[in-house]
């Protein structure tokens, strides 16, 4: 309908109405199973973004994508960039190719910051679904062979080639327990009747508050989330961006924009000994299609002589070998 889609016409970029309508007709008439059409609306029913994806071999092709050029545009663009990578992973693709010549500036800016590279026909992002030693990937990472980059640079490669996991580069790994209500709020797992929408409801970034003390997490790092409720299992993996320890009220004010925790929630998470909390700011969570059960985790830990006393009641540091064992499950 024109009253829904007409607002995405790129008048400022010189797009003609007849050209735009033809694009819509072409995408609407594509009945193949490899083509999907998406429309995101706000609570009032107004369309905010629309896009089309097509599977072409190992590439997720995006011939049409529009985001309204308003104050929400950059936020939606950032969510969309990661959303396309998720679709690519689910479809076993190795790249995302964007070819709409009339996309908004907010969208193009997000592509560039999110690791897409400009080509003759559009923008392309590599999606690497693999885990292993750094030297297996250095040939495709655009770095000097045989030279290990600093940890921060390897973490950046993991970000722009998500969900690749590059081992042996000094990125720390952690197993972090999370309760049911927080798991649903922050990870979207488990799915509940009042779960937020997969796309706009789940931001790329979140914060998790835990009692200060015990293992001090450091960023950049990786978090394996252990759902400490029945069924107890490792359900996903996130990039750890930042950790800060401080007074509950101060940290709540600083991170209140993430909007999941109340001030009372943060105070309730504080250490009984010190009264302090530790904030974990994390992003780009990968929810596992096959969660790893507690029984299986215990068996892996028992077979891994370096971690015989792993305690899952609090955050634990694990080495690359155990991280890979759990992740591959």
pLDDT in tens, 30-62: 877 889 999 988 888 889 999 999 999 999 999
pLDDT at 308 (0 to 100): 57
Give the per-residue SS3 of the chain: CHHHHHHHCCCCCCCCHHHHHHHHHHHHHCCCCCEEEEEEECCCCCEEEEEEEEEECCEEEEEEEEECCCCCHHHHHHHHHHHHHHHHHHCCCCEEEECCCCCCHHHHHHHHHCCCEECCCCEEEECCCCEEEHHHCHHHCCCCCCCCCCHHHHHHHHHHCCCCEEECCCCCEEEEEECHHHHHHHHCCCCCCCCCCCCCCCCCEEEEEEECCCCCCCCCEEEEEEECCCCCEEEEEEEEEEEEEECHHHHHHHHHHHCCCCHHHHHHCCCCCCCCEEEEEEEEEEEEEEEEEHHHHHHHHHHCCCCCCCCCCCCEEECHHHHHHHHHC
pTM given for the model:
0.88
Q: Are 254 and 313 in contact (CB under 8 A)?
A: no
Where the chain has pLDDT below 70, the residues are: 139-144, 180-186, 188-202, 305-309
CB distance 66 to 100 below 8 Å: yes
Q: How buried is residue 150: exposed, middle or buried, by Cβ count under 10 Å (0-12/13-18/19+)?
A: exposed
**According to the model, what pLDDT value does residue 181 have?**
62
Check residue 140 and give its pLDDT. 66
Under a CB-based contact definition with an 8 Å cutoff, are residues 111 and 98 in contact?
yes
């Amino acid at each position: 309908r024109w009253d829904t889609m007409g607002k995405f016409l790129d008048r400022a970029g010189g797009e003609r109405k007849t050209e735009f309508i033809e694009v819509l007709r072409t995408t609407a008439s594509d009945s193949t199973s490899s083509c999907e059409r998406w429309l995101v609306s706000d609570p009032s029913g107004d369309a905010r973004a629309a896009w089309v994806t097509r599977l072409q071999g190992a590439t997720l092709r995006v011939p049409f994508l529009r985001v309204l050029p308003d104050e929400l545009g950059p936020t939606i663009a950032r969510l969309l960039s990661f959303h396309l990578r998720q679709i690519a992973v689910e479809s076993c693709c190795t790249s995302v190719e964007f070819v709409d010549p009339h996309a908004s500036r907010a969208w193009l800016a997000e592509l560039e910051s999110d690791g897409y590279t400009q080509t003759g026909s559009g923008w392309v992002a590599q999606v690497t679904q693999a885990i292993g030693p750094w030297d297996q990937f250095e040939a495709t990472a655009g770095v000097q062979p045989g030279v290990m980059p600093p940890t921060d640079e390897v973490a950046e490669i993991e970000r722009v080639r998500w969900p690749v996991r590059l081992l042996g580069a000094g990125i720390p790994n952690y197993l972090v327990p999370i309760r049911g209500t927080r798991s649903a709020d922050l990870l979207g797992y488990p799915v509940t009747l009042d779960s937020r929408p997969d796309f706009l409801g789940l931001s790329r970034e979140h914060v998790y508050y835990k009692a200060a003390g015990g293992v001090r997490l450091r960023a950049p790092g990786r978090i394996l989330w252990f759902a400490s409720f029945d069924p107890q299992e490792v359900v996903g993996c996130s990039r750890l961006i930042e950790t800060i320890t401080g007074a509950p009220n101060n940290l709540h004010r600083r991170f209140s924009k993430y909007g999941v925790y109340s001030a009372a929630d943060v105070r309730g998470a504080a250490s009984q000994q010190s009264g302090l909390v530790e904030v974990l700011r994390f992003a780009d969570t990968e929810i596992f299609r096959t969660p790893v059960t507690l029984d299986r985790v215990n068996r892996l830990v028992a077979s891994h002589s370096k971690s015989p006393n792993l305690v899952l009641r609090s955050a634990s540091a694990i080495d690359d070998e155990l991280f890979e064992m759990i992740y591959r499950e």
